[in-house]
Each structure stands twice: as structure tokens, then as C-alpha cells.
Homo-oligomer: A and B are copies of this chain.
Amino acid sequence: MTTRSTPPADPAEARRLFREGLVTPTAGWAPGFTQANTIIVPSEYAYEVLLFSQRNPRPCPVLDVSDAGSPRTVLAPDADLRTDFPAYRIWRDGELAEETADIRDHWRDDLVTFLIGCSFTFETPLLAAGIEVRHITAGTNVPMYRTSVECRPAGRIHGPLVVSMRPIPADRVAEAVRISGRFPSVHGAPVHIGDPAGLGITDLGTPDFGDPVEIRPGEVPVFWACGVTPQAAIMASRPPFAITHAPGHMFITDVPDARYAV
């Protein structure tokens, strides 16, 4: 793992750094370009994963699906999906088997890659509106929580809704809703505002993925559907083999965020 102080603004440059081995959460990287979650499964599971995504579009907004065996995507034609994420997770029977920065040794001709929208897309317009995004300020990964809300299942694929959380001052919450709601294909408006118990979350200080953030007096925890949901579905559904990104360690596409604004 190498480290680097200033994230680049260019998606291709970011991908080059990841291809060369840099491992880092990507919040705040290449601002204005869409980042994507991923889930990679053998083709015999592809229909159920795609159907799960269709049935749960808020946590799983599919931006692209590659043909079986192809490490290419229309979202970044020069990219190699096997090397250009900062970090991947290898799953066997629903258990985390390995975390790696390169999946070429795990690649198979029957693997289908799903790229799924990421809430980072609406963080740029939140910041532009003067709404602080705490985990970017702190330089940490966004906090993510497994909830007690079950997604609508699809065949063998099932699992809980995962949410990301951002503390927002009470008088800016409506604006944060309005801004993120303009991006329905990258999670859109929040799924829940306020009391975490309503989602079955008992302690905001111990997220299931990512890092905790400070919630200051006068701030409300605001929860958005999260692209880590397919990863939680892998853990719950236990297919023999799957690959995901490491939470917060996204694929940076060549697509401007504005493409997904309504």
C-alpha cells in the first residue's frame, strides 16, 4: 500500500494510482465524477443479482453490467475492472476470504460485473450548497449500517438494507433531501431521517462498515440507501463465490455526476 496526500481530480489518473497499488477510501476523489460500488458473481447467479437490484433500486441502482468474462465497462472504456478499484473483497460461501487490490488471479470467464451507483455522487452538490459532509471533513470512510429492513428477495439472493449516514444540521435537512433527491439513480433522497432505532440501529458509534463520525448538537442523522447492500446480501445468501469492492473503496468512472441528475 502506498499513501498520497492530495487526491487527483482526473478519474483516469485515480484509476492508474489504484492499478499501481494505492489502497484508500475514495470519498472526495475526482469530484464531479460518478463513483460505483461493485458486485461480481458467476453467470449462474447473474439473473438473480440483476433481479434483486431491480427489486431494490434504492440501495442497488445498477449503472452498468458487463458481459460475462469481460473486465470492461461503458462507464470508463479504458479501465480494467480487475485492477482499477483500490480494494476488493473475495467471498466464498458468504464468508470474507480475502481482501486484495487486484483480482486478476481470481478472474474467470463466467464472471459478470455489476456497477452500482454510490451516494458519493450527491456529496459534491451537498458540499457546493454549503452542507458539510462530516466524513469528508474528517478524512475518513463514510459510516454504514446494516438495518433491520429486509430487501425484497430475488430467488436465492436476499439480505438486509444497508444505509450510509451523514449528520446534517436540522435546518439543512430539507435541502439535503432536495439535493440528493435529484439523483434517483444513485440512491436518491434519504430512506430515513432521525431516530436510528427505526432502522434497528442501536449504536451510531459502531458502524458495520466504514468509520464512525461525530454527531454535533443540533444535527440529525440522515440515512441513505447504500451500495454495500449487495455485499450484505452476499453475506446473507452465501453463494459459493463472489467478489465485491471493499466498502468505501470505489470504482471511479469517466461519467460526470451531472449525467445522473434529474
| Selected contact of A47 from candidates B47, B55, B64, B181, CB within 8 Å | B47
Contact assessment for B262 and A184 in the assembled complex, using a CB-CB cutoff below 8 Å = yes
Interface string of A159-198 (1 = CB under 8 A from B): 0000000000000000000000110110010000000000
Partner of A65, one of B51, B65, B185: B51
Alpha-carbon distance between A19 and B54 when the two chains are bound, in angstroms: 28
A201 at interface, CB cutoff 8 A: no
**A232 is an interface residue with CB less than 8 A from chain B:** no
- The number of chain A residues with a CB under 8 A from chain B is 19
From B50, B155, B184, A54 is in contact (CB under 8 Å) with B50
Q: Does A46 contact B (CB under 8 A)?
A: yes
Residues of chain B within 8 A (CB-CB) of A182 are 262
A101 at the interface (CB under 8 A from B): no
Kindly provide the distance from the CB of A88 to the nearest chain B CB, expressed in whole angstroms: 23
The chain B residue with its CB closest to the CB of A155 is B67
A90 contacts B by Cβ under 8 Å: no
- Report the bound CA distance from A50 to B50 in whole Å: 7
In the complex, what residues of B have CB within 8 A of residue A51's CB? Answer: 50, 65
- A184 to B184, alpha carbons, bound, how many Å? 8
Q: Check: A81 CB closer than 8 A to any chain B CB.
A: no
CB closest residue in chain B, given A182? B262
Name A46's contact: one of B47, B64, B188 (CB within 8 Å): B47
A172 CB, min distance to chain B CBs, angstroms: 20
Contacts of A262 in B (CB 8 A): 181-182, 184, 188, 262
The minimal Cβ–Cβ distance linking A261 to chain B, given in whole angstroms, is 10
Report Cα–Cα, A155/B46, bound state, in Å: 13
Is residue A62 contacting chain B, with contact meaning CB distance below 8 A?
yes
Of all chain B residues, the one with the shortest Cβ separation from A51 is B65
Determine the distance from Cα of A54 to Cα of B55 in the docked complex, in whole angstroms.
12
A207 to chain B, nearest CB (A): 29
Chain A residues 48 to 78 lying within 8 A of chain B, measured CB to CB, are: 50-51, 54-55, 62, 64-65, 67, 74
Where the two chains meet, the residues of A that have a C-beta atom closer than 8 Å to any C-beta of B are: 46-47, 50-51, 54-55, 62, 64-65, 67, 74, 152, 155, 181-182, 184-185, 188, 262
- In the assembled complex, 11 residue pairs joining A and B whose CB atoms fall closer than 8 Å, in A order, are A46-B47, A50-B51, A51-B65, A54-B54, A54-B65, A55-B64, A55-B65, A67-B155, A74-B152, A181-B262, A188-B262
